[in-house]
């Protein structure tokens, strides 16, 4: 069955805070740092979506062979994690157990009604880093990068920054 999730990537190059200026994608290989935004449409209220390929594409666009890739989720009800990609039962079990640890309804005070999602976001965290060697993310055999949705479905962003070392 085809995966209904759309993971798109749109490159945008930012002005470097230290004063250096990105000259656009074509000049990326000359720069120290590159940043790209990935757009994700999540499928359910709680979801984990493998974004490894999209992040690897961003690393490829950056043209940086050796460095660090930071994956940052700019949302308060979502997160990012690295875990097993081979058996989908692992993701199912993670989501099942996090639901027990942080129930959807538990007398929370936050008026928006999505406190469970905020708490899960903090438990998982909103960023992670992966080593880049020879232009490739250095992940273990069974590891993937997962975007974690806790208040979906909706359209989300992931920011990927690659820094040359
Ligand atoms: Zn809220």
Q: Where are the chain's structural domains?
A: 7-164
Please, are residues 43 and 50 in contact by the beta-carbon 8 Å criterion?
A: no
The rounded Å distance from CA 36 to ligand 1 centre is 26
HEC-encoded secondary structure of 134-153: CCEECCCCCEEEEEEECCCC
Hey, what's the torsion of the CAs at 115, 119, 120, 122, to 10 degrees? 140
Structurally, at CATH architecture level, domain 7-164 sits in Sandwich (2.60)
Instruction: Tell me how far the alpha carbon of residue 150 lies from the centroid of ligand 1, in angstroms.
Output: 11
Q: How far is the CA of 111 from the centre of ligand 1 (A)?
A: 7
Burial label for 101, CB within 10 Å (0-12, 13-18, 19+), is exposed
Residue 107 has pLDDT above 70, yes or no: yes
Ligand 1 centre distance from Cα of residue 43 (Å): 19
Beta bridge partners of 78: 149
3-class SS of residue 79: strand
pLDDT of residue 10: 52
pLDDT band at 56 (very low <50, low <70, confident <90, very high): very high
Distance CA 14, CA 17 (A): 9
Q: Write down the pLDDT at residue 26.
A: 45
User: In angstroms, what is the span from residue 2 Cα to ligand 1's centroid?
Assistant: 32
Q: What is the pLDDT of residue 19?
A: 34
If you average pLDDT over residues 78-99, what whole number do you get? 97
CB 68 within 8 A of CB 127: no
E-assigned strands of 12-111?
33-41, 47-50, 67-72, 78-84
pLDDT at 5 over 60: no
Pairing state between β 155-164 and 67-72: antiparallel
The predicted pLDDT at position 21 comes to 36
d(CA 96, CA 139): 25
Q: What's the 90 CA to ligand 1 centre distance in angstroms?
A: 27
Of 12-21, 33-42, 118-127, which one has max mean pLDDT? 118-127
Average pLDDT, rounded, for the chain: 87
More confident position, 18 or 133: 133
Distance CA 122, CA 75 (A): 10
Q: What confidence score (pLDDT) does residue 30 get?
A: 55
- Cα(117) to centroid of ligand 1, in Å? 8
**Structural contact between residues 57 and 164, judged by C-beta atoms closer than 8 angstroms:** no
């Amino acid at each position: 069955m085809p995966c209904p999730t759309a993971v798109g990537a749109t490159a945008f190059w930012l002005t470097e805070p230290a004063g250096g200026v990105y000259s656009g994608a074509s000049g990326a290989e000359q720069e120290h740092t590159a940043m790209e935004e990935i757009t994700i449409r999540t499928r359910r209220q709680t979801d984990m979506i493998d974004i490894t390929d999209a992040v690897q594409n961003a690393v490829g666009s950056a043209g940086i062979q050796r460095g660090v890739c930071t994956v940052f989720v700019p949302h308060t009800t979502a997160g990012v994690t690295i875990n097993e990609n081979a058996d989908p039962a692992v993701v199912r079990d993670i989501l099942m157990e996090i639901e027990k640890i942080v129930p959807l309804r538990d007398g929370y005070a936050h008026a928006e009604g999505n406190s469970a999602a905020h708490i899960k976001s903090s438990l998982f965290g909103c960023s992670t880093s992966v080593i880049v060697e020879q232009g490739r993310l250095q992940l273990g055999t069974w590891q993937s990068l997962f975007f974690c949705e806790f208040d979906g479905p909706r359209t989300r962003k992931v920011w990927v920054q690659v820094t040359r070392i």
